[in-house]
């Protein structure tokens, strides 16, 4: 066999091997993607109907609350002073205008936004709970059966006498 023919056969064989490897890798990536979608709630199983508000915020922001607290190195998201201090420090330390990394600044900003979304969600839920409690208390007073205090005769005090 001549040298050019052997080289051509090696190139063809190598191309076949690489083609098969790329095809197998693509199939595996597609399978992993389908599995990730199913795990994220796309399957419609029992977990899909029980999505917590945090999961919805994670989907919207692209970052978890846990990851956000790790990025900003804070323990309690309710400590506004520590939260603001850590954010400012990390933003200034990684500011691209000062030679820092745009990627790191974007992670810091996304972490802050995610925590702010969580705090807004908590505030909204607390407000709704207070409104529901107020409505329930109003419903109990309505069920009490009176418009106001009664006088000794059984009528409403301060109103016209009953005929």
Averages of pLDDT over runs of 10 residues in the chain (163 residues) are 90 94 93 82 43 69 89 90 92 91 92 92 91 83 56 51 50
Query: Tokens 């059984």, residue?
Result: 154
User: Where do the domains of the chain lie?
Assistant: 1-38, 52-143
| Predicted local distance difference test score (pLDDT) of residue 144 | 58
| Predicted local distance difference test score (pLDDT) of residue 125 | 92
| Predicted local distance difference test score (pLDDT) of residue 141 | 67
| Predicted local distance difference test score (pLDDT) of residue 48 | 40
pTM of the model: 0.52
Helix (H, G, I), strand (E, B) or coil at 44: coil
Rounded CA-CA distance 46/146 in Å is: 46
Question: Between 1.10.287.110, 3.40.50.720, 3.40.190.10, 2.40.37.10, what CATH number should domain 52-143 receive?
Answer: 1.10.287.110
Q: How many CB atoms lie within 10 A of CB 59?
A: 11
| Predicted local distance difference test score (pLDDT) of residue 162 | 52
| Predicted local distance difference test score (pLDDT) of residue 60 | 85
| Predicted local distance difference test score (pLDDT) of residue 51 | 42
| Predicted local distance difference test score (pLDDT) of residue 50 | 34
Rounded CA-CA distance 7/77 in Å is: 64
Query: Tokens 């006498």, residue?
Result: 161
Helix (H, G, I), strand (E, B) or coil at 146: coil
């Amino acid at each position: 066999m001549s040298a050019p023919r052997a080289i051509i056969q090696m190139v063809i064989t190598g191309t076949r091997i690489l083609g098969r490897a790329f095809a197998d890798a693509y199939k595996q990536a597609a399978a992993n993607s389908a599995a990730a979608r199913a795990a994220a709630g796309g399957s419609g199983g029992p977990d899909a109907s029980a999505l917590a508000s945090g999961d919805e915020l994670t989907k919207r922001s692209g970052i978890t609350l846990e990851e956000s607290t790790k990025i900003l190195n804070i323990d309690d998201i309710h400590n506004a002073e520590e939260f603001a201090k850590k954010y400012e420090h990390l933003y200034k330390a990684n500011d691209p205008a000062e030679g820092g990394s745009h990627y790191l600044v974007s992670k810091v900003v996304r972490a802050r936004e995610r925590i702010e979304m969580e705090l807004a969600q908590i505030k909204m839920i607390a407000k709704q709970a207070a409104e529901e409690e107020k409505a329930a208390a109003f419903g109990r007073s309505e069920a009490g059966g009176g418009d106001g205090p009664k006088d000794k005769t059984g009528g409403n005090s301060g109103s016209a006498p009953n005929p």
